[in-house]
Structure formats: structure tokens, C-alpha cells
Amino acid sequence: MTIKSIWLRRIHKWVGLVIGLQFLIWAISGTAMALLDMDEVAGGTMPETAASALPSGGTAWPRVQQALGGQTITTLAILSGPQGQLLTVTTPTGVRLFDASDGSPVSIDRDAAASIARTAHPERASPARTTSLGELTLAVREHQLPVWQVDFRDDVNSSYYVSGTTGEILERRNDSWRWWDFFWMLHNMDYAKRTSFNHPLIIMVGFSMAWLAVTGFWLLFRTMWRHDFTPIRRLWRAS
């Protein structure tokens, strides 16, 4: 065996140790995510709301059109808010909310966000704290500001995230989701944003695994020749 092979064996051993530890982390994190109840991770069942129809007649729609100033409407929806029905109007300049009963503009302030979150909570629990996010957190990393965070003192430490633009429930997070997200971070090795499988670290690990396999085969055939086949030759001669 040459000096080159000796150094290759040493490098192969330490790279194998690192990759082996990562395989162990993948196995543990994958098993943990599989064992967690996905209904609990998702925040439980959302309370059902009755389907609403767009109100007809009255002064609501003319006031909405007047407030929009002739802008093109790309989408129009009606939602059930805590104080009644809301018109969600999307134009090229953004999303506007209006009271469906009289057409008056509606803004999602602290009290409105808390009320929306309480309505969506399965137990109708009272919020413990409502906070306007100054920047996106991991819990709402795929959304856009403004966002209200509404925290509850329930058994699973729920946090509901309400859009400050549309009043929609963006996400429902709890302890089960936080554990799942932690194991997800370990699994995809994205320790910053926890969203990508195409980041440099995991690509480097992939190439390391390929290098480990190639050098492993090379070392196998480099070191297992005549003396490894001696027992087989003896059996062949004996037969």
C-alpha cells in the first residue's frame, strides 16, 4: 500500500464519520416528523363558517366603487369577520377591505386582529397578547407584512397570525408545529430560513456522499485482492 492510499483511507474514514452522523440526524428527524400528529401540527380543525353571498342593493357597493376611484378590480371576495361581512377587493395597487353592509373602509387594527383570531380558535379562547410584527419570523417566513401575532394561553401555546391587509388567518402555530419545524430544519439542513433543499451545505454533503462511495469502492478493490480470496480458493481446490 502506498502513502497515497494511506492518506486516502484516513480522509475516507473522517468523511465517513461526518456523513454517518448526518445520516443519523436524518433518520432521527425523519422519524420524529412522522410520529408527530399532522392535525396538531396544522393547528387543529378550523371552525366552520357559513357561506356568504354578496349583498345586493343598498349603498354599500356604490360607496366601494367611489372609494376605489375607478381602479380596475382584479378579484372580489366576501369574508365573514367578527363584526360582520367584509368585502375584500384586490386592485393593481393592493388589497382593500370594506364593510359589506355599508361600504365603509375597514382596517385590521389590534382589536380586529384579536377578534379574528379568537373566532378562528377551536375553543374560542381569549387572546393573551396581540403584537404587530416588525419583521417576518420563522412562523410566517413565507408571507408578507403587515402581520399581527395573536398569542393564546391554551394547552399548546397557540399563536395565530392575522394579515394586517386582508384579515385572513395566515398561520396557526403551536408547540407541535415548533417541534416539527425544528426537526424539519435538521432534516433539510437549512438552519437559517428552513425552506430550501438547494442550499450550498446540503449540495456539499451530496457531493461528499458521492466521493465517499467512489473512494470506498476504490479502496475496497485496492486492498482486498489475493489474501481475501485465499479461503475461496481453498474451498474450490477441496471440492
- The pTM of this model reads 0.76
Cβ atoms of 32 and 183 closer than 8 Å:
yes
Residue 161 shares a structural domain with residue 113: yes
Distance, CA of 132 to CA of 46 (rounded, Å): 23
Q: What CATH number does the domain containing 141 carry?
A: 3.10.450
Residue 135 shares a structural domain with residue 83: no
Residue 115 shares a structural domain with residue 172: yes
Residue 113 shares a structural domain with residue 149: yes
- The predicted pLDDT at position 3 comes to 47
- The predicted pLDDT at position 50 comes to 52
Residue 151 shares a structural domain with residue 124: yes
- The predicted pLDDT at position 127 comes to 94
Residue 226 is assigned to a structural domain of this protein:
no
- The predicted pLDDT at position 1 comes to 46
Owning domain of residue 152: 107-178
Residue 164 shares a structural domain with residue 198: no
State how many domains the chain has: 3
- The predicted pLDDT at position 38 comes to 92
- The predicted pLDDT at position 53 comes to 54
For the chain, which residues score pLDDT lower than 50? 1, 3, 51
Residue 99: beta bridge partners? 86
